Amino acid sequence: MLQKDFRRLALILLFAPFALWIILLILLPHIGMIALSLREKVAPRVYEYGFANYMDFLNEPIYWNTLLRTGSMSLLVTALALLIGFPVAYYIAKLAGNRTRGALFLLCLIPLWVSDLIRAYGWILLLRETGVLSSFLQWAGIVDHPIEFLYNDVTVVIGLVYTVMLFMIVPLVSTLDGMDNSMIEAGYNLGGNGFTVLRRIIIPYAMPGIVSGCIVVFMLTAGSYLTPILLGGKNSSWFTEQIYNQFISRFNWEAGAAFGILLLLFTSIVIWLGLKLSGQTLANTVAKS
């Protein structure tokens, strides 16, 4: 009997920090934000409850265009990151020798822990009008006047792909690493060519890693703030910028909260769709990487 009481006590003690964390820092704040998003300031200290903030969003094309733009560009970034990252991850996991594998993986990891800010700053130094690339092109005689590479969509996409790339590669490498080489050999042995082996064996096996990478990458891109602002300039029209503006510049917290909820809903729906379409669950993808 004592043993049982002890176990129950231990369980409660272990549950307490978890519950405090989830309730106080995740659930309550989000409930509070939903509540806040549902009220509108009609006069100082006078509030009305309703969907006015959401109606504003729908009635103002700039807002929902920005959200759609953020979403579609995030999807594009995710797809590019997967296309560019998969061969690299495959090389690291399967083709590189034992020693180079560790070194390459480490090379991948080091930029992972360097701030977004520094990475974006590095790109600025490379791409701006007085930057390295522009100077190099002039020096090489390819162009005769400085070129501004910053402040356009292509640069934003490149910068975002760069920023999130490592979150794609790391889960891919760890799933591909767990794959037995003999599975690939068996695929060839049974008469498959390179393409069918890739499509029928490697990709299905790597699916949890692919989905995990895509979820994290999509979420990070849609929620990113620094890269679009710094590389795209003030007119980058990124949705997080709208949230920031409502909160900090206009001090309209109600609208900002509504925008936050919309962004959260939007990313959640995309992630949910991605999980449904690929037949994976949150627990066996993100939790494993």
Partner 1 sequence: MLAQDKATPFLWGYRLYVAAFFVFLAAPLVAASIFAFNDSVFPALPWQGFTLDWFFNDSEPKLGMFHDRRLLRGIYYSFVIAAFVSTLSVTVGTTNAFLFVRGQFPAKNFFYILMIVPLVIPGVILGISILVLASNTANFLENRFDMELELLRPGIFLVVMGQFSFITTITSLVITARLKKFDESMEEAALNLGASRARVLRTITLPFLRPAMIAAGIVAFLVSFENFNTTLFLVGSEAPLTITMYDRVAKVGSTPVLNAVSFALIIGSGLLALVSILVQRDKTVR
C-beta of residue 187 within 8 angstroms of C-beta of residue 196: yes
Q: Does 251 help bind partner 1 (rule: CB under 8 A)?
A: no
Q: Is 182 in the site for partner 1 (CB under 8 A)?
A: no
Shortest distance, position 44 Cβ to partner 1, whole Å: 14
Applying CB under 8 A, does 112 fall inside the site for partner 1? yes
Q: Looking at 50-58, 60-68, 75-83, 182-190, which segment touches partner 1 (CB under 8 A)?
A: 182-190
Identify the H or E element spanning 43. Answer: strand 39-43
| Helices 203-222 + 61-90 axis angle, to 10 | 140
Cβ-contact 67, 267 below 8 angstroms: no
Q: Kindly give the interhelix angle for 153-177 and 116-127, rounded to the nearest 10 degrees.
A: 130
CA-based R_g, the chain, Å: 24
Cβ of residue 42: shortest distance to partner 1, in angstroms?
19
Contacting residue, 57, 63, 149, 162, with partner 1 by CB under 8 A: 162
- Show the binding pattern over residues 203-242: x = contacts partner 1 (CB under 8 A), - = does not: ------------xx--xx-xxxxx--xx---------x--
| Residue 247 interacting with partner 1 (CB under 8 A) | yes
Q: How far is residue 171's CA from residue 212's CA, in Å, rounded to a whole number?
A: 7
Candidates 77, 123, 150, 170: give the one binding partner 1 (CB under 8 A).
123
DSSP 146: -
Tokens of residue 17, six digits: 């920090």
Residue 26 within binding range of partner 1, rule CB under 8 A? yes
What is the per-residue binding string for partner 1 in 54-73, x denoting contact by CB under 8 A?
Answer: --------------------
> Token match 């296309």: residue?
83
Asked if residue 116 binds partner 1 (CB under 8 A), the reply is: yes
